[in-house]
A = this chain, B = another copy of it.
């Protein structure tokens, strides 16, 4: 079995990776690293895993990593992966990076949103890991830039519609809402229980770094320059993300045509569930799963389209999609290890 490592195993996305990979029947989770907790058992950090996993956090030693793993997940803050990935790839290791470092094709776009890129030579071959959209490319990729959580909810509903020119690319607004785990595990006033609980607010209005990430993919797929107005909000809950998208349908486009377009795009996608029966997506129904539930309504009076997409930000929005990409890369069934029944509540 393929040996797999998780670098940065004790952040929330890393820990979610460990949860999934520890039970994955087709790979061998051979090692995990943590700078902060090196030498400690993973189950001492996440006691829910007590008796389930004997893994011990190790320090990251890039030189010897190629003897330990064939594929490495990088679950680190951006800026670190671009210093690590080149050496792993040079050693013949395939990489799924969960940070923003390899999500952009355009170095300029990346550098405008983040900082100077230290491995720009890898950007061209890196594949954007939106599993359902770039399936074939991912299968052959050496380096996958796993999408951001917000972009996943925006791109899955919009890409097919833009490709078929069913919506006006100048009309796009994404009003997105995320649970607090999206902000990561580092303590801060912004994630203090008392500051978040019983509170609802937008943040980084129209200046969030996921905006250029979406714009690049939307523009590529629409074959025209697209900028979506993107406003994220923080919801007082741990997990879950729901994005409400507003768009103007092209002249004459009907609701049935929109569903047809989405259906033909995702007919064979095990993790995209189209709510064609009128059900409205709810984060509760995708909690802990790799699903993306997509619903829609047409505001009949002014013919405006409302798309809704719900995911678990830590699963389809991070670790789950990363494992889905690994499955594709290793030619394992796409949903292997990713199909637990979700809790009823």
Contacts and interface: CB of A to CB of B under 8 A. Distances in A.
Interface of A: 12, 15-16, 18-20, 22-23, 46-53, 170, 173, 175, 177, 179-181, 185, 187-189, 191-203, 205-206, 227, 229, 231, 233, 235-240, 242, 244, 246, 270, 273, 279-289, 291, 293, 297-302, 304, 306, 308, 310, 339-345
A206 B297 CA distance: 8
A201 B246 contact: no
A22 B340 CA distance: 10
Q: How many copies are assembled? A: 4
Given A185-B189, A191-B187, A201-B282, A341 B23 contact: yes
A192 to B, nearest CB: 5
A49 to B, nearest CB: 6
Nearest to A271: B51
A238 B46 CA distance: 20
Nearest to A14: B344
Nearest to A342: B48
B240 A173 contact: no
Contacts of A304: 173, 206, 229
B297 A201 contact: no
Contact of A198 (B195, B227, B287, B344): B287
A306 B175 CA distance: 10
B187 A192 contact: yes
- Nearest 4 A/B pairs, CB to CB: A15-B344, A201-B282, A199-B284, A48-B342
Given A233-B244, A237-B200, A242-B201, A48 B344 contact: yes
B233 A236 contact: no
A280 B281 CA distance: 27
A154 B179 CA distance: 25
A193 B12 CA distance: 13
A57 B62 CA distance: 49
A240 B49 contact: no
A235 B236 contact: yes
Contacts of A18: 344
A254 to B, nearest CB: 16
A281 B175 CA distance: 15
A198 B340 contact: no
Contacts of A270: 51
A244 B231 contact: yes
A288 B192 contact: no
A197 B238 contact: yes
Nearest to A344: B15
Contacts of A242: 200-202, 233
